[in-house]
Amino acid sequence: MTMELGGKVTIECERSNHRAELEFKLKPFFGGSTSINQISGKIKSGEEVLASLDGHWDGEVYINDLKNENTEIFWNPTSEVRRQRLKRHIVLFEEQTDFESERLWQHVTSAINKGDQHKATQEKFVLEEEQRNASRERKENGTEWKPLLFRHDAATNEWHYKYEDLRPWDPLNDIAQFEKDGILQTMERHLSTRMSSHRTMCINNQVIRHKRSAKDYRRRKTSDQPSNHSQNTESSCSTPESVQELSDDDGFESPCTRCGREMSHLKEIHMTVLSLQKAQQDIHRNLTALNKKSFYRKASSENLLLDSRCWFLICVFLTCQLFINYVFK
């Protein structure tokens, strides 16, 4: 089992208005080894397609110029580049729990590698039957099965990882992201004492419950199981109950990383509200000052107009008085 890169990536250049659209393709169900790590894409200038890309991202990638139909090698990793690939790190087999995939499917994998399809089918049936028996026992005892690492979306009928961290990576505060007991966590530079102690307590509780769950549901090794039913049994897919149990152990609902993430989100919202309140107060203060200035200007202009009218009337009155005195003299 290997991990593949799948999805679409867009790279844009604002200066030249060029855009590259890349698609990392997943291996099809009936594809061979040549279908792994395939990549295709287009290089555009606006809406015009200039060239197309095709190949394998860990091998040769060819570029085809659509104007002159010229094809040449665009990318071919050297041995030095290949040596820089990330190394695969796995948990030691003796340190794995009973529900780790490598330990759980060890006999099925061994039979497949040896080319013994009958033995692989037999071991697969043993696993499935044990999961069905455990599911029937829970139903008879009225025990509710709760996943530890996954939650079920009833609307889409899909399983989602509980502790996925979708917040943007902060290069100033985030140091590294790591996995412990199936839970993804982020190591941060600045972490308050209260949040740190809360997160530590959550992690400890998770570890304790995970160990209790492993003890309560300790299963026997598949090598010790009888294989009487394997002679007349064909290969079949796991039941929903078996898929659920193979996906996860029993657990609880309180994610540590989600607690820390919600606290950080609440803090960000609080800071945003405070900044908005401060901006609103500044705007209100500026509007009040502008109203006062406009009132003073209006009052001064009215006073000036009133003074000019008074002087005009006084001048008219004095002129009339002088004219009357001159006439009656």
Question: What distance in Å separates the CA atoms of residue 229 and residue 227, rounded to the nearest whole number?
Answer: 6
In the chain, the amino acid numbered 299 is A
Identify the band that residue 256 occupies on the pLDDT scale cut at 50, 70 and 90: low
Question: Do 174 and 119 sit in the same domain of this protein?
Answer: yes
Which position has the higher pLDDT, 318 or 214? 318
Q: What is the pLDDT of residues 99-119, one digit of tens each?
A: 888 889 999 999 999 999 999
Domain count for the chain: 2
Position 323 pLDDT exceeds 50: yes
Range of the domain at 76: 7-83
Q: What is the pLDDT of residue 1?
A: 53
Angle at the Cα of 76 (from 56 to 53), degrees rounded to 5? 50
- CB count, 10 Å around CB of 253? 10
> 112 and 75 in one domain?
no
Of 62, 83, 104, the position where a domain reaches its end is: 83
Q: Are 251 and 209 in contact (CB under 8 A)?
A: yes
The tokens describing 145, both together, are 């099965």
Structure tokens at 299: 């009052």
Q: Shortest CA distance to 101 belongs to which of 145, 149, 56, 40?
A: 149
Residues recorded for the chain: 329
Enter the tokens of residue 146. Answer: 């709760």
Would the pLDDT of 41 be above 80? yes
117 in the same domain as 205: yes
Question: Which secondary structure element, helix H or strand E, spans residue 102, and what is its range?
Answer: helix 101-104
Per-residue model confidence (pLDDT) at position 74: 92
Whether the pLDDT of residue 13 is over 80: the answer is yes
CATH number, domain containing residue 25: 2.40.160.120
Cα–Cα distances in angstroms (integers) from residue 226 to residues 102, 134, 190, in the given order: 21, 17, 55
**Cβ proximity of 57 and 34 under 8 Å:** no
> Domain for residue 277, yes or no?
no
Mean of all residue pLDDT scores within the chain: 76
Confidence of residue 247 (pLDDT cuts 50, 70, 90): very low
Q: Does residue 296 form part of some domain?
A: no
Nearest Cα to 182, choosing from 95, 100, 264, 98?
100
The DSSP H or E segment spanning 178 is strand 174-180
Cα–Cα distance for residue pair 227/170, rounded to 1 Å: 53
Q: How many CB atoms lie within 10 A of CB 256?
A: 20
| Same structural domain, 155 and 180 | yes
Point out the domain boundary residue: 208, 234, 254.
254
Boundary (domain end) residue, out of 211, 236, 254: 254
Domain identity same for 77 and 109 = no
Whether residues 48 and 108 fall in one domain: no
Question: Distance between CA atoms of 66 and 159, rounded to whole angstroms?
Answer: 43
- For 38, the 3-state DSSP assignment is strand
Q: Which residue has the higher pLDDT, 239 or 281?
A: 281
* Residue-wise pLDDT tens digits, 167-217: 888 888 888 887 777 788 888 887 544 444 445 555 555 555 555 554 454
Say if residue 211 is in the same domain as residue 108.
yes
> Half-sphere exposure of 36 toward its Cβ, with a 13 Å CA cutoff?
7
Strands 48-56 and 174-180: unpaired
Report field, pTM of the whole predicted structure over 0.85: no
Share of the chain above pLDDT 90, in %: 20
pLDDT band at 125 (very low <50, low <70, confident <90, very high): very high
Task: Establish if 259 belongs to a structural domain.
Answer: no
- Read off the pLDDT of each residue in 299-313 and give the average, rounded to a whole number: 68
C-alpha neighbours within 13 Å on the C-beta side of residue 215: 6
Q: Closest Cα to residue 133, out of 209, 220, 212?
A: 220
Tell me, yes or no, whether 147 and 182 share the same domain: yes
CA 45 to chain centre: 30
CA dist 19 and 10 (Å) reads 7
Q: Can you tell me the distance from the alpha carbon of 160 to that of 138, in angstroms, rounded to the nearest whole number?
A: 23
Let me know whether 36 and 64 are in one domain.
Answer: yes
Q: Are 150 and 170 in contact (CB under 8 A)?
A: no
Band of the pLDDT at 43, cuts 50, 70, 90? very high
